[in-house]
Amino acid sequence: MSAFLSRAPVFIVGILAITSMYFLFFMTKSPPKNGENAQYACGVSNGISKANKGQDKIGVGVEAGYVEFPWQAYIEIQMKSGTSYTCGGSLISDQWILTSAQCLKTNTEGDQIVEVWVTLGMHNYKTANDLNRRTFELDITNSFFFHPDYSETLDADIALIKLPSVVTFSRYVRPVCLADWKEIDYVGEQVTIAGWGSTFKDQWEYFPNDAVLYKMRATVMSKSYCSDSFGDIEDSVLCTKGNGLGRSGACIISNYDLGSPLIFKRSNGKWRQIGILSLAKDCNKKPSILYTRVSFYAPWIKHTMTHSSGSHSFSFLSPTLISINFIMIYLKNLTSKV
């Protein structure tokens, strides 16, 4: 018995190694291979239309090029009462949309969401025969993921939507790159926000055949400026200055565009999403817009996507615990026989 116990450490290490290798090679699934999607890098836009070159100024909205931002998502929500509304969002992987939590939660007492559609690859929402467009109808029971700290005071105003199937990327449907937790604060940098909101509702008479995506450049402001506009704010948000009037007299970016991505163009030409539209002030009074800071919630985004995707990722901890449990039972039985 003593001879066996002296060799127990070697025995234990051997069992751990064998069990771990077994789990690694036989009990885990390889990540899905999508050769078509692999060739499409994130953050690559489709350029700028010649007609709008030189017109894209701070606070001045211009028509975006045809599916210029192939990650831009158009979200339609139908309520039980019969009312409907729209929001924005962004494609961040082949099955995930990033948006505002406000977009998917209603404050109307007694009302509830009954249907939600997400459309990608769209430029004009009135054009039904756009071959590049793809619309997904969501299962509202298990498609939405809200940050646990979200509140109606706009804390943690961030949500994820899991699409019912994997998206095949193309020139007109591809993801945006995401800011990570180590990002700079971007104060003083010029950024871009886009949305369809300025063409909605009673403004249709001004845009009868031109219900297209509009974009606008803005400047990221300091925390003190943002606090003057929105009250005391946390590091989890950022704001921009600049939001003008469109041809219709409506603000270029409005609360119809909640969830739309605030993007920054890096020196390599790729776009990175740094914010999620959370609140747009009346541009006639103070042209400021508030966003959820993506970098602050990058760990939550990654964790949610990883643990809600059915992935069987390998963990050394699980086989280790199984091995230890097996060894303890074995030693206990062996001791009881002595």
pLDDT in tens, 136-156: 999 988 999 999 999 888 899
* List of E strands, 121-179: 134-137, 144-146, 159-162, 177-178
Cβ atoms of residues 120 and 88 within 8 Å: no
Least confident of 22-36, 170-184, 269-283: 22-36
Residue carrying the six token digits 């962004």: 90
State whether 220 and 328 are in the same domain.
no
Question: Which tokens is 156 given?
Answer: 């943690």
Q: Give dist(CA 193, CA 260) in Å, integer.
A: 7
- On whether both 240 and 329 belong to a single domain, the answer is no
156-199 pLDDT, tens digit each? 999 999 999 999 999 999 999 999 988 888 999 999 999 887 66
At 130, the amino acid letter reads: D
User: Quick one: what percent of the chain has pLDDT higher than 90?
Assistant: 45
Cβ proximity of 220 and 238 under 8 Å: yes
Q: Which residues constitute the domain of residue 7? A: 2-28+314-337
- What integer is the mean pLDDT of 240-262? 82
- What pLDDT score does 172 carry? 94
What is the C-alpha end-to-end distance of the chain, expressed in Å? 8
Q: Are residues 115 and 233 located together in one domain of the fold?
A: yes
Mean pLDDT, the chain, as a whole number? 78
Which region among 94-98, 198-202, 328-332 has the lowest average model confidence (pLDDT)? Answer: 328-332
Q: Give the C-alpha distances (Å, rounded to integers) separating 245 from 50, 138, 241, 273.
A: 22, 34, 14, 24
**pLDDT, tens digit, for every residue of 234-243?**
999 999 988 8
Confidence class of residue 9 from pLDDT cuts 50, 70 and 90? low
Query: Both 13 and 51 in a single domain?
Result: no
Do 6 and 42 have their domain in common? no
Residue 158, Cβ neighbours under 10 Å: how many?
27
Q: Which of 51, 116, 53 is nearest to 79 (CA)?
A: 116
- Total count of domains within the chain: 2
Q: What pLDDT score does 60 carry?
A: 72
Strongest mean pLDDT among 59-63, 107-111, 157-161:
157-161
Residue 213's nearest CA partner among 90, 93, 316, 81 is 90
Whether residues 318 and 297 fall in one domain: no
- Of the chain, the percentage scoring pLDDT greater than 70 comes to 70
What is the per-residue burial (b if ≥16 Cβ within 10 Å, else e) of 114-152? eebebbbbbbbbeeeebeebbebebeeeebbbebeebee
Whether 108 and 226 share a structural domain: yes
Sign of torsion, CA 77 168 310 292? Answer: negative
Indicate if 318 and 267 belong to the same structural domain.
Answer: no
Range scoring the smallest mean pLDDT among 56-70, 111-125, 283-297:
56-70
Are 187 and 287 contained in the same domain? Answer: yes
- Does residue 50 carry a pLDDT above 60? no
What phi and psi values does residue 176 have, to the nearest 5 degrees? -90, 155
Q: Are residues 21 and 79 in the same domain?
A: no
Query: What CATH number should be reported for the domain holding residue 159?
Result: 2.40.10.10
Q: Are residues 149 and 223 in the same domain?
A: yes
pLDDT tens for 215-232 read 999 999 999 999 988 888
Tokens of 313: 């990722």
- Same domain? For 17 and 101 the reply is no
pTM of the predicted protein model: 0.78
